[in-house]
Amino acid sequence: MLRIYSLLYFLLTTLSICHAEKGANKDLSFYEYTEKSLLWAPYRSNCYLGVRPRNIDQSPLVVGLMWFDSSVNDGLNRLRHFVDQNDGVKQYTWEVYDPRLGGKEVIIDEENNLNLTLYFVKSQDGENWSIRVHGVPIDTSRKHTASVVLYLSQNGENDGESQLIRLGNGNDIEFVGHSKEMGKYNIKLFDNYGKYAEAANFENLDNPEIYEGLDCSKTAHVSLHVPDEETWKARDIFQSILSDSATSAAQALQGEVNPDFLPSLLTVRNIFQFQPGNFHFIQKTFDMSNPEGFEFDVVYNAAKSPNKLRKSNRVTNLITSTLNEIQARFNRHFDLKGQDEEHRVFALQTLSNLLGGIGYFHGTQIVDRVTEFNDETFEPTTFSHAKEESPLSLFTSVPSRGFFPRGFYWDEGFQLLQIMEYDFDLAFEIITSWFDLIEDDSGWVAREVILGAEARSRVPEEFTVQSPNVANPPTLLMTFSEMLSRAIDYQNSVNFNQDKESNDNQEKTLREDTNQLEQNSKLLVKYAKRIYPKLLKHYEWFTTSQKGLTEDYVEVFEEEGILSKVHLDHVYRWLGRTVTHCLPSGLDDYPRAQPPDAAELNVDTLAWVGVMTRSMKQIAHVLGAEDDEKRYLKIEKDIIQNLDNIHWSDKDKCYCDVTLDDYEDERQFVCHEGYISLLPFALKLIPKDSIHLDSIIELMSNEEKLFTDYGLVSLSKQDEYHGKGENYWRGPIWVNINYICLDALRFYYPEVITNDSKGNSKAMKLYNELKNNLIDNIFENWQETGYVYENYNQNDGRGSGAKQFTGWTALVVNMLGRM
Ligand SMILES: *[C@@H]1O[C@H](CO)[C@@H](O)[C@H](O)[C@H]1NC(C)=O
Ligand SMILES: *[C@@H]1O[C@H](CO)[C@@H](O)[C@H](O)[C@H]1NC(C)=O
Ligand SMILES: CC(=O)N[C@H]1CO[C@H](CO)[C@@H](O)[C@@H]1O
């Protein structure tokens, strides 16, 4: 009877949520859906769990979770907060995650003997949300505690309107809050189960008042005022309050600290008589001798919400439906039918970790607009005129939560190639946020976007300064171009096959549809209009700042008899290389001309400008700006010709950098076979009937040069610099370039997809082997260690560089499910 009842109850509650969903979303326009579904998420992705709203800059509610084992003396040293790949946490992985919906993160922290499962789920309209914290011991024989600290900060200084106040007593506690921008809300914490650690008995000691407030047997709470710009220092603040409090108590104990006292001594209390403020620490200390561990929920409800998330069974239902929905969305976008279960888990997890890195950043940026590069000595530049500038915002994914938790212009384009396959509109939203950063007057955007003190705290100081002279490969335009091609193709097919009416209705479709910008030309045009002026500026900035020095080439090309064939307006170089490194190229230590010369022309810079030009042409097309479209078409053609006439070396049979020989005034090819030589192909610039295609396939297939069992190496095994020096881009296998090579193979040789026996057999063999080698190696590393890596060793395939690098390495999901 009881069973039937609970089944009925389950059906009823599920039904009512489904019903609410239909009702609530019928009228949601595309814009509303975007704003609401992306409002709340763990956007402080540099924390193990850190929640904040998007686009709320003045008075965001900022939430974070920390934990440690308070039963040991030095437990506080292992207080976890920011993801750090060196802090000994064995695993931290979003098994299932989508920023629009929520997800499940699993953390295996062996040093603290804690196996944590964290859920973040949202109501259907995205306005209210819940965090569930579930912890069990890893080693059940070890007696210890799990002390979990949640902090809440209602930011918004000095306006008096943004507040967060605690109501009531007990372990289940409630807050009411007010954000100037978001209005009223309340937050409740309630325990589902778990046994609090036993309180120390201080009663029989001298001066028991010294120990007042030190009680681990119930939820501890301290409220204080913390300035907005210090909120991110929650861990430091907690540690210092706690160590002061514990030290004063321990002194009274005169060194006789009974280990049973520790959990109480390490419980937060208000020893400094802080006035209550908008910042709150809530600490719960559980006795982990019970293998069932503990579980509690944190529930946020917007006050206007008529239908509040309250009961834990609602949260449970929401968790179930959220995880199922993400799985279903994933299955709709990726075809993994041919894969075994472990590969499917790997793919969903890897995509989830990429999405779990998506963050919203707001704050100041440090810029040096004065210092110029030295084009004589090519010594590294010191940026000594750095200034903190006014705040900016960015919505972006990150290369690695533990190591690179900020926006990277060069990584982002690749990350979006993956995200767009899952959620086209989300990728568009991110790309738009980046384009919004393009400065109106200069057209510049920083190559690392490090906004605010929290983001800066994760960057070595010498790298925090950005300079408007430094460019980086405009990968965002590569992805933008891909997105526009899709949208244009889609529209062509629709205009051809369908009447227009269905298009008009599309602005009001159901929330499952995350490809609206691809399929609704009106929406796309609206977005494109907004972005176009910025892109024009950016294009001008890039092509002006990175323009090659051409005077000396006029005579040289004249002599060679090719002057009439080359377009000297369209040759480029990376400004700011040093003798050993060319950081702007993204391929840091990849070998370049020696000695460096201001007259050097870089083939990859030219190829990237080709990609930018192609996107400008496409966006002009979308907007119906015919003159602009024609102009960009002409430039694109000139660039493609320059690739062949200036950068193709017949002798070496590959694309190369070019420099001038100082003595003989001749063009010199600087050929180092590797990723740079492949770029004109990988970026789909060279014509489909190019006579050079065979040589490129040959180079990629050659096991003495680029081909290995693990993927294409960055620099040929025969190159004199292979594996030398820092060995960063001089051999290791990088997934980003491998991925675009695979994609280009599909573009130039459609037969690789169909295995058409009449096709180019070399290309088909290369495609299949390369794809399988990459997948197998990345997968095997993951199986062994639980991580995907920044790059992979060229000799044994082992992951190296940053761990949990679910930035562009996540492109393996496309390889598995889209190729
Ligand atoms: C962590 O706990 C979950 C259940 O909460 C369990 O399924 C998983 O096996 C545990 N993992 C480890 C490494 O203990
Ligand atoms: C094409 O052939 C290769 C090698 O025989 C094979 O691995 C691959 O799965 C085939 N692809 C398709 C789409 O049949
Ligand atoms: C603002 C608002 O109404 N929020 C929602 C809170 O969550 C419940 C449960 O999913 C929804 O029904 C509400 O609409």
Q: Distance, CA 768 to ligand 2 centroid (Å)?
A: 7
What's the token pair of residue 250?
Answer: 């321990």
pLDDT of res. 283: 98
pLDDT higher than 60, residue 74: yes
Cα end-to-end span (Å), the chain:
51
Q: Is residue 618 part of a domain?
A: no
pLDDT of res. 579: 93
The finding on whether 307 has its CB within 6 A of some atom of ligand 3 is yes
What digits encode the pLDDT tens for the residues 237-264? Answer: 999 999 999 988 888 887 678 889 999 9
* Residue ID of nearest Cα to ligand 3 atom 10: 123
Contact 516, 30 (CB under 8 A): yes
What's the token pair of residue 815?
Answer: 């390889």
**Proximal ligand: closest to the CA of 110:** 1
For 200: left if phi > 0, alpha if psi spans -120 to 50, otherwise beta; the answer is beta
Strands 102-109 vs 114-122: parallel, antiparallel or unpaired: antiparallel
Average pLDDT over every residue of 657-682: 93
Quick one: how many helices (H) and strands (E) in the chain?
22, 26
Q: Is residue 243 part of a domain?
A: yes
Q: Distance, CA 811 to ligand 2 centroid (Å)?
A: 20
Rounded distance, CA 526 to CA 548, Å? 35
pLDDT of res. 43: 98
pLDDT of res. 499: 46
Pick from 736, 508, 636, 684: which is nearest to 22 by CA? Answer: 508
Contact 175, 301 (CB under 8 A): no
**Proximal ligand: closest to the CA of 773:** 2
| % pLDDT > 70, the chain | 93
Q: Which residues are tagged catalytic?
A: 588, 790
The finding on whether 638 has its CB within 6 A of some atom of ligand 3 is no
Radius of gyration from C-alpha coordinates of the chain = 29
**Proximal ligand: closest to the CA of 95:** 1
pLDDT of res. 516: 87
The finding on whether 783 has its CB within 6 A of some atom of ligand 2 is no
Q: Is residue 205 part of a domain?
A: yes
Average pLDDT over every residue of 470-494: 91
Task: Produce one character per residue of 324-342: b if its CB has 16 or more CB atoms within 10 Å, e if not.
Answer: ebbeebbeebbebeebeee
Average pLDDT over every residue of 597-613: 96
Q: Distance, CA 751 to ligand 2 centroid (Å)?
A: 11
**Proximal ligand: closest to the CA of 761:** 2
Q: Is residue 35 part of a domain?
A: no
What's the token pair of residue 306?
Answer: 């008529």
* Residue ID of nearest Cα to ligand 3 atom 14: 307
Mutate to test the pocket of ligand 3, among 32, 308, 313, 319 (most ligand atoms within 8 A of CB): 308
Strands (DSSP E) along 59-111, which ranges?
61-68, 91-98, 102-109
pLDDT of res. 308: 59
Cis peptide before 399 (omega within 30 of 0): no
pLDDT higher than 90, residue 668: yes
What digits encode the pLDDT tens for the residues 153-194? Answer: 999 977 788 999 999 788 999 999 999 999 999 999 999 999
pLDDT band of 76, cuts 50, 70, 90: very high
CA 302 to ligand 3: nearest atom: 1
Range of the domain at 165: 46-333
Q: Of 333, 353, 375, which one is at a domain's C-terminal end?
A: 333
* Residue ID of nearest Cα to ligand 2 atom 2: 755
Q: pTM for the whole thing?
A: 0.93
Ligand 1 neighbours (beta carbon < 6 A) = 108, 115, 117, 136, 138
Burial class (CB in 10 A: 0-12, 13-18, 19+), 766: buried
Rounded distance, CA 670 to CA 113, Å? 55
pLDDT band of 728, cuts 50, 70, 90: very high
Q: Of 333, 356, 378, which one is at a domain's C-terminal end?
A: 333
The finding on whether 702 has its CB within 6 A of some atom of ligand 3 is no
Q: Is residue 84 part of a domain?
A: yes
| 358 vs 517: which has the higher pLDDT | 358
pLDDT of res. 190: 93
DSSP state of 41: E
Q: For the chain, what is the domain count?
A: 2
- The CATH number of the domain holding residue 62 is 2.70.98.110
* Residue ID of nearest Cα to ligand 1 atom 8: 115
Pick from 565, 558, 557, 656: which is nearest to 606 by CA? Answer: 656
State the residue for tokens 């998007």. Answer: 54
* Residue ID of nearest Cα to ligand 1 atom 11: 115
At 599, the amino acid letter reads A
Contacts of 281 (CB under 8 A, 6+ apart): 149, 150, 151, 220, 221, 222, 223, 234, 238, 241, 268
Burial class (CB in 10 A: 0-12, 13-18, 19+), 158: exposed
The chain-wide mean pLDDT, for the chain, equals 91
| % pLDDT > 90, the chain | 79
Q: Is residue 798 part of a domain?
A: yes
Average pLDDT over every residue of 194-217: 90
pLDDT of res. 274: 92
What's the token pair of residue 709?
Answer: 């069992």
pLDDT of res. 362: 97
Dihedral, CA atoms, 32, 37, 38, 44, nearest 10 degrees?
Answer: 150
Q: Can you name the residues that pair with 189 across neighbouring β-strands?
A: 173, 298
Q: Is residue 145 part of a domain?
A: yes
CA 304 to ligand 3: nearest atom: 1
The finding on whether 321 has its CB within 6 A of some atom of ligand 3 is no
pLDDT band of 410, cuts 50, 70, 90: very high
What digits encode the pLDDT tens for the residues 297-346? Answer: 999 999 865 555 566 688 999 999 999 999 999 999 999 999 999 999 99
| 513 vs 213: which has the higher pLDDT | 213
What digits encode the pLDDT tens for the residues 622-655? Answer: 899 999 999 999 999 999 999 999 999 999 999 9
What digits encode the pLDDT tens for the residues 516-573? Answer: 888 888 888 888 889 999 999 999 999 999 999 999 899 999 999 999 999 999 999 9
pLDDT of res. 721: 98
DSSP secondary structure string for all residues of 647-672 = IEETTTTEE-EEEE-TTT--EEEE--
At 452, the amino acid letter reads G
pLDDT higher than 60, residue 810: yes
pLDDT higher than 80, residue 211: yes
pLDDT higher than 60, residue 15: no
Contact 799, 785 (CB under 8 A): yes
The finding on whether 755 has its CB within 6 A of some atom of ligand 2 is yes
Q: Of 333, 351, 385, which one is at a domain's C-terminal end?
A: 333
* Residue ID of nearest Cα to ligand 2 atom 10: 755
Task: Produce one character per residue of 344-381: b if its CB has 16 or more CB atoms within 10 Å, e if not.
Answer: bebbbbbbbbbbbbbbbbbbbbbbbeeeebeeeebeeb
Q: Distance, CA 119 to ligand 1 centroid (Å)?
A: 14
pLDDT higher than 50, residue 101: yes
Q: Distance, CA 577 to ligand 1 centroid (Å)?
A: 49
Q: Is residue 722 part of a domain?
A: yes
Q: Can you name the residues that pair with 618 across neighbouring β-strands?
A: none
pLDDT higher than 50, residue 104: yes
Mutate to test the pocket of ligand 2, among 755, 770, 816 (most ligand atoms within 8 A of CB): 755
